[in-house]
Amino acid sequence: MAEVEKGCELFSAGHRACGGCGPALAARLLLKATGENVIISAATGCMEVFSTPYPETAWGVPWIHSLFENCAAVASGIEASLKRQGRKEKVVCIGGDGATLDIGVLCISGAFERGHDITYICYDNEAYMNTGIQRSGATPYGASTTTSPAGKCSRGNPLPKKDMPRILAAHGAPYVATASIAYPNDFVQKVERAINTPGPCYIQVHAPCCTGWGFESGETLNMAKLAIETGLWVNYEMVDGEVVKAKKVRRRPVEEYLQKQKRFRHLFKPARQDDVIAQIQAIADANAERFGIDIKKKESSE
Amino acid sequence: MALRVGCVAPPGKALDNKTGAWRVFKPVFDPETCSRCGMCATVCPEGCVRETEEGTFEPDLDYCKGCGICAEVCPKDSIRMEKEEK
Amino acid sequence: MLEFMEGSHAVAEIVKRCRPQVISAYPITPQTHIVEDLAQMVANCEIDAEYITVESEFSALSACLGASAAGSRVYSATTSQGLALMFEVCFNAAGMRQPIVMTIANRSLGAPLSIWNDQQDSISLRDSGWLQFYAQDNQETVDLHMIAYKVCEDHDILLPAFVCFDGFILSHTYEPVSLPMQEEADAYLPAFNPYQRLDAAAPLSFGMYATPEYYTEFRYEINQAQYRAKEAFVRAGREFGEQFGRDYSGLVEGYRLDDADIALVAMGSICGTAKDAIDEMRAAGRKVGLLNIRVFRPFPGPEIADALKGVSKVAVLDKNISLGSGGAVGTEVKAALQGSGISVYDYIIALGGRDVRKRDIAAVVDLAEKGEGDMFYGLRTEVL
């Protein structure tokens, strides 16, 4: 724990995130892992907005924001510049799921293909939250958002989450991982591993948004943990494109997770949508199968 | 304060924004039952839970938004959320 | 010593002498030989620079922005659709006050698709905050790059700049060019000294967002820097003249204007044709002159008014059109001459690579003399 505490002041209090904000915790943990010797290239988004209204920056390390979709390209330039100057700061991108899985894909693909020594962190809160909870490529199947609303002839987001880790692993990224703010030390260790691995690395950290998902602010970590315990989120690591480690769980039914969030309320009221719930359960089952996360009898956790 | 070229600023100024004013519920920490695991400090999105000299923990109410995550994660249930009288 | 070379190659040669530390460019949509030549120079260790082979112009300029913020002198080149793809980053780079120099080999914008020359691309970014310099020939193109770095990096300015030269007409044309020795270039343009940079030893947040409380003042500051760039350009242009014998101390440059009754106003390589046409018209006794606008941003309104104060009529040659309004240069020249009593006529000309000959220039002067203007010149009415 002492190790985690080090550098905690680098992301300072006074930022304007909602109480109970998952991404704010992700930012704090990120800087605990990187320490001071880092340059952050940020995408436009909730985190950027709540942490940097001029002149009140919450960032105690060098930080740059240019646009929504270009933080990986900006980081490419920073990395090239540092290399030319013989400087040793680590370069870390941070963007939300919209900036990462949707609008920023071109720049990220280019940066990963070129092999820059950067680490890209996607804080995944599963929709465009800053602008009012619109659907992104990371919004899970069945979730109601303001652009994939449930209605008479809609049962929420009709598409599954885009598999960004696999896309970036396919670019040849030496280290790709998923993490969750429910397991802070695991996330911190993954960031440390990523920034110390030469080449472009990617971490997608699950960071629930109480405002956008519709749950009480104190439940943020519980919700992140439930996502893992239901198999809807899997914490895993890929080295050179191969999954080498995935967190095992005694899985619980997805309903336990869905019922606690307003974005899935239409699946239970006014009438149960058994087929949609079953499809979401099937997604969890497929995750469990792909990553082998189910704890069999007499097998210990991890 | 004169504007800095390019909308650039040095660190530190976020602390001017005392987010404790947002709070509706406040966490009350009980040092007697605290196991000193520090989970409350680790998971605070504000980074405003501090270790005391005794090794227990307390919130910085200047910034605590009262989200209640610390109370939820405390394995000893030694943090309770209390409606704040204003 | 004069060397005979292609315009694009001459640009690459001068960029090399400006010692950029990071070069980032996309090779297509469309591009010139500049970036290929620079890539070869990097491959030959002739330039000590990182060359980033980006996947789009959007990333090209974004990477330049990051490298500049990290403390490197940067360079890119583009044109036409590529510049259009950079639109968002252009506004951003200026607002973030990064002294990026980018060559624009001016070409038209689709649709319809056209790979040929006009100045629609850079002029469409006139509101972006970038300084815009237009070269008449390849020597001026080369020289303006050194001046651009000097002006942009001035700590009182801190703005990016386009150095514009006409696509094909200059970029793909061989002309004799004088290039400085490296030591001479170094003497004129010292090593990059960033005003502020991303640095773990002294952390700063770049590109924060501004509430309504601050936004207007930040935009005002950018605008003020634009106006200060006038003086900085004049100074840098004069210093250049002192060192190299070619003076660029004018934001505008007059040609045979002293006793002129009619003045043409133009930017870029069309000025060369115009000067030849003027010589012929002068020989025939017509009092015609030319005003070349070298610096379009910041716009030299008072300088234009001063240079044209003796004329009665002005004919602006606009190689662009603000659709639904008129030529961008003409519109601004009219504003600059408001209340002067001078009649200003605007001509949309040379779009999408249409050739302009001396007799076209003379025809424009005839139209202006008759008071006919604010029109597309040389429309092929038979196809309409």
Q: What's the distance, CA C31 to chain centroid?
A: 16
B68 touches chain A (CB under 8 A): yes
Q: Among A19, A28, A56, whose Cβ lies nearest the Cβ of B65?
A: A19
A9 lies in some domain: no
How far is the C-alpha of C18 from the C-alpha of C190, rounded, in Å?
Answer: 9
Q: What is the number of other CB atoms lying within 10 angstroms of the CB of residue A189? A: 16
Q: Do B9 and C205 touch (CB under 8 A)?
A: yes
Distance CA B47, CA B15 (A): 12
Least CA distance to A104: which residue of chain C? Answer: C59
Contact C213/B at CB under 8 A: no
> Using 50, 70 and 90 to split pLDDT, how confident is the model at A302?
very low
Report CB contact under 8 Å: A114, C58: no
Task: Give chain A's domain count.
Answer: 1
Q: Which chains touch B (3 or more CB pairs under 8 A)?
A: A, C
Contact list, A60 vs chain B (CB under 8 Å): 11-12
Mean pLDDT for chain A? 95
DSSP string for A46-96: HHHHHH-BTT---BSS-EEE--SS-HHHHHHHHHHHHHHHT---EEEEEEE
pLDDT tens digits, one per residue of C331-379? 999 999 999 999 999 999 999 999 999 999 999 999 999 999 999 999 9
The nearest alpha carbon in chain B to C98 belongs to B6
Nearest to A76 among C52, C58, C205 (CB): C52
A285: CB partners within 8 A, 6+ apart: A231
pLDDT of the residue at C1: 83
Closest CA to C318 of C346, C345, C295: C346
pLDDT higher than 80, residue A185 = yes
Is residue A8 one of the residues assigned to a domain? no
Look at B45 and A12 and tell me if their CB atoms are within 8 Å: no
CB of C227 less than 8 A from some CB of B:
no
Chain A residues whose CB is inside 8 A of the C200 CB are 36-39, 61-62, 89
* Cβ under 8 Å to B: C residues 237-276: none
Q: Do domains C2-244 and C252-383 have the same CATH topology?
A: yes
In chain C, domain spans: 2-244, 252-383
A225 shares contact with chain B (CB less than 8 Å): no
Domain containing residue A77: CATH number: 3.40.50.970
Architecture of domain C2-244: 3-Layer(aba) Sandwich (3.40)
Instruction: Give the nearest chain A residue to B10 (CA atoms).
Output: A57
Phi-psi region of A299 (alpha: psi -120 to 50; beta: other; left: phi over 0): beta
Q: Which residue of C has its CA nearest to B6?
A: C96
For chain B, domains (ranges, CATH) are 29-83 (3.30.70.20)
Verify whether the Cβ–Cβ distance B8 to C204 is below 8 Å. Answer: yes
CB contact under 8 A, A55 and B22: no
Residue A221 covered by a domain? yes
Residue A5 belongs to a domain: no
Mean of all residue pLDDT scores within chain B: 96
Question: What are A193-197's contacts with CB under 8 Å, separation 24+?
Answer: A194/A119, A195/A33, A195/A34, A195/A38, A195/A90, A195/A92, A195/A119
Interchain CB distance below 8 Å, B6 and C95:
yes
Per-residue pLDDT of chain C (384 residues; tens, 9 = 90+): 899 999 999 999 999 999 999 999 999 877 789 999 999 999 999 999 999 999 999 999 999 999 999 999 999 999 999 999 999 999 999 999 999 999 999 999 999 999 999 999 999 999 999 999 999 999 999 999 999 999 999 999 999 999 999 999 999 999 999 999 999 999 999 999 999 999 999 999 999 999 999 999 999 999 999 999 999 999 999 999 999 999 999 999 999 999 999 999 999 999 999 999 999 999 999 999 999 999 999 999 999 999 999 999 999 999 999 999 999 999 999 999 999 999 999 999 999 999 999 999 999 999 999 999 999 999 999 999
Tokens at A85, concatenated: 């100057």
Banded pLDDT at A261 (limits 50, 70, 90): very high
Q: Cβ A84–C66 below 8 Å, yes or no? A: no
Query: At B43, which amino acid appears?
Result: V
Of C22, C55, C89, the CB nearest to A84: C22
Which of A63, A67, A110 has its CB closest to that of C54?
A110
Q: Is A19 on the interface with C (CB under 8 A)?
A: no
Question: Could C63 and A73 be called an inter-chain contact, meaning their C-beta atoms sit closer than 8 Å?
Answer: yes
- Specify whether domain C252-383 bears CATH 3.40.190.10: no
Instruction: Mark yes or no for CB contact A38/C200 under 8 Å.
Output: yes
- Pairing of β A175-180 and β A201-206: parallel
Question: Which residues in A lie closer than 8 A to residue B18 (C-beta atoms)?
Answer: 14
Question: Which chain B residues contact residue C204 at CB under 8 A?
Answer: 8-11
Tokens, residue A151: 């209605």
pLDDT of residue A2: 36
> What range defines the domain where residue A122 resides?
16-291
Residue with tokens 């966490």: B27
Across the interface, which of C21, C49, C200 has its CB nearest the CB of A37? C200
Answer whether A80 sits within 8 Å of C64, measured CB to CB.
no
Residue A297 covered by a domain:
no
